[in-house]
Structure 1
Amino acid sequence: MRTGTTLTTKLLTMGMVFLLVTLSSISVTLWVTWKLEGGAAAVNEAGRLRMRTMRMALAVENGARDKLLANAEMIEGSLELLRTGDPDHPLFVPWSDETRARFADVRSQWTTVRQEWLAREAPPVPVLVARADEMAEVMNLFVDAIEVQIARWTAALHVLQLFMMGLTILVAFGVVVMTGLVVINPVARLQEAFLQIRQGLLGTRLPVETDDEFGQLNEGFNRMAQALQTSHDDLALKVREKTASIEDKNQRLSALYEVSALAAQAPNLKELTQGFVQQVRRVAGADAAVVRWSNEGNEHYVILAADGLPRSMTEEEQCLRAGSCFCGQAQSLPDARVIPISIATPMVLPHCHEAGYQTLVALPVMVHQRVLGELNLFFRAELELSPDMRELLEAMVRHLASSMEGLRAAALEREGAVAEERGMLARELHDSIAQSLAFLKIQTQLLRDAVKKGNDIARDRSMAELDVGVRECYADVRELLVHFRTRASEEDIEEALRTTLSKFGHQTGIAAHLSMEGHGLPLDADVQIQVLHMVQEALSNVRKHARATVVNVRVQRHPEWRFEVQDNGIGFDAGLAMAADSLHVGLRILRERAEGINARVEVQSAPGAGTTVCIALPHNEPGASGGATPSESPAPQLPSWSSL
Structure 2
Amino acid sequence: MAFTELPLRKKVSTKLFILTTIWWLGALLAIFFTLSLLWQLEGAGGAINDAGSLRMRVYRLVILDQSDDKVPVLDAVEDFTNVLTGIVEGDPKRPLMLPQEDHIYWQAESVLRAWKDQILPNLIENDGTPFTYEEANAFISEIDALVKMVEKSNASTLKRLHFYQDLLIILVVAGSLTMLYILFHLIIRPLQRLNYALSLAEKGDFSYRETLNNREDEFGLLSIGYNKMATRLEALYRGMEETIEEQTQDLKQRNSELESLYTITSYLHNQHDIKIICEGFLASIMPIVHADAGAIRLHDYNDQKMKLIAEVNLSEDLQNSVRCQHFDHCYCGKFAQTESISEEMAIQDLLEKTPPCQEGAFKALNIFPIFYDQEKIGIVTLFSHDGKAFSEAKKNLLNSLSNQLGVAIGGVRLMERSRKMAVLEERNIFAQDLHDSIAQILNFLNWQVQMLEKALKNGHKEEARENLAFIKDGVKESYENVRQLLLNFRTPLRLESFSYHLEELIKRFKTQTEIEVNAMVDASNIHLSDKEKLEVVFIIQEALSNIRKHANATKVSLQIYTDEKNYIIRVTDNGQGFAEEILTEKSLEHVGILIMEERAQKIGGQLAVLSEPGEGTELRLIIPRKEAKAEHE
Give the TM-score category using the shorter length. Answer: 0.5 to 0.7
Asked whether the equivalents of residues 363 and 386 of structure 2 are also in contact (C-alpha less than 8 Å), the reply is: yes
**Aligned-pair CA distance for 1:337:** 2.6
**Aligned-pair CA distance for 1:332:** 1.9
CA distance in structure 1 between the partners assigned to 2:169 and 2:292 by the alignment: 92
**Aligned-pair CA distance for 1:269:** 0.6
Q: Does 1:360 align with 2:365?
A: yes
Partner of 2:382: 377
CA distance in structure 2 between the partners assigned to 1:208 and 1:348 by the alignment: 70
CA distance in structure 2 between the partners assigned to 1:602 and 1:94 by the alignment: 134
Q: How many residues align?
A: 521
Partner of 1:341: 347
Taking a change above 3 Å as real, the CA distance of residues 254 and 226 of structure 1, as seen in their structure-2 partners, is: farther
Q: Does 1:320 align with 2:329?
A: no
SS at match of 1:39: helix
Taking a change above 3 Å as real, the CA distance of residues 55 and 206 of structure 1, as seen in their structure-2 partners, is: farther
SS at match of 2:281: helix
Partner of 1:566: 572
Q: Does 1:276 align with 2:281?
A: yes
Unaligned runs of 5+ in 1: 101-106, 108-121, 234-239, 444-461, 624-644
Partner of 2:539: 534
Asked whether the equivalents of residues 298 and 322 of structure 1 are also in contact (C-alpha less than 8 Å), the reply is: no
Partner of 2:272: 267
Taking a change above 3 Å as real, the CA distance of residues 141 and 411 of structure 1, as seen in their structure-2 partners, is: closer
**Amino acid across the alignment from 1:320:** S
Residues 453-474 of structure 1 show CA distances to partners (whole Å, capped at 9, x for unaligned) of xxxxxxxxx9xx9999899958
CA distance in structure 1 between the partners assigned to 2:229 and 2:371 by the alignment: 52
Which of 21, 28, 49 is matched with 1:19 structurally? 28
CA distance in structure 1 between the partners assigned to 2:140 and 2:623 by the alignment: 144
**Amino acid across the alignment from 2:414:** A
Which of 411, 414, 419 is matched with 2:419 structurally? 414
Structure 2 counterparts to residues 27-426 of structure 1, below 5 A: 27-51=36-60, 59=66, 86=88, 88=90, 90=97, 150=151, 157=158, 168=168, 171-179=171-179, 207=212, 215=217, 217-218=218-219, 264-278=269-283, 280-281=285-286, 286=291, 288-295=293-300, 301-306=306-311, 309-310=312-313, 313-323=314-324, 326-329=331-334, 331-335=336-340, 336-342=342-348, 348=354, 351=357, 354-355=360-361, 357-365=362-370, 372-382=377-387, 393-394=398-399, 396-422=401-427, 424-425=429-430
Unaligned runs of 5+ in 2: 1-9, 91-95, 108-113, 115-128, 235-243, 450-467, 629-633
Asked whether the equivalents of residues 610 and 617 of structure 2 are also in contact (C-alpha less than 8 Å), the reply is: yes
Residues 422-445 of structure 1 show CA distances to partners (whole Å, capped at 9, x for unaligned) of 454566678779989x99xx99xx
Largest Rg, 1 or 2: 1
SS at match of 2:321: strand
Asked whether the equivalents of residues 50 and 139 of structure 1 are also in contact (C-alpha less than 8 Å), the reply is: no
Coordinate RMSD, CA, aligned: 6.9
Asked whether the equivalents of residues 25 and 164 of structure 1 are also in contact (C-alpha less than 8 Å), the reply is: yes
Asked whether the equivalents of residues 437 and 478 of structure 2 are also in contact (C-alpha less than 8 Å), the reply is: no
SS at match of 1:47: helix
**Aligned-pair CA distance for 1:359:** 2.3
Asked whether the equivalents of residues 591 and 601 of structure 1 are also in contact (C-alpha less than 8 Å), the reply is: no
CA distance in structure 2 between the partners assigned to 1:431 and 1:142 by the alignment: 157
Taking a change above 3 Å as real, the CA distance of residues 221 and 394 of structure 1, as seen in their structure-2 partners, is: same
Residues 122-170 of structure 1 show CA distances to partners (whole Å, capped at 9, x for unaligned) of 9xx9xx99x869x97997999699689959967984x877776665555
Taking a change above 3 Å as real, the CA distance of residues 8 and 573 of structure 1, as seen in their structure-2 partners, is: closer
Taking a change above 3 Å as real, the CA distance of residues 155 and 423 of structure 1, as seen in their structure-2 partners, is: closer
**Aligned-pair CA distance for 1:420:** 3.7
SS at match of 2:490: helix
Over the matched positions of the two proteins, sequence identity in percent amounts to 18
Question: Quick check: 314-323 or 505-514, which moved more?
Answer: 505-514
Asked whether the equivalents of residues 566 and 610 of structure 1 are also in contact (C-alpha less than 8 Å), the reply is: no
**Amino acid across the alignment from 2:379:** E
Taking a change above 3 Å as real, the CA distance of residues 524 and 33 of structure 1, as seen in their structure-2 partners, is: same
Taking a change above 3 Å as real, the CA distance of residues 370 and 402 of structure 1, as seen in their structure-2 partners, is: same
Taking a change above 3 Å as real, the CA distance of residues 370 and 45 of structure 1, as seen in their structure-2 partners, is: closer
**Aligned-pair CA distance for 1:364:** 4.4
**Amino acid across the alignment from 1:332:** Q
CA distance in structure 2 between the partners assigned to 1:285 and 1:424 by the alignment: 54
Partner of 2:237: none
Partner of 1:447: none
**Aligned-pair CA distance for 1:588:** 5.2
**Amino acid across the alignment from 1:590:** G
Taking a change above 3 Å as real, the CA distance of residues 423 and 315 of structure 1, as seen in their structure-2 partners, is: same
TM-score with structure 1 setting the length = 0.56
**Amino acid across the alignment from 2:422:** A
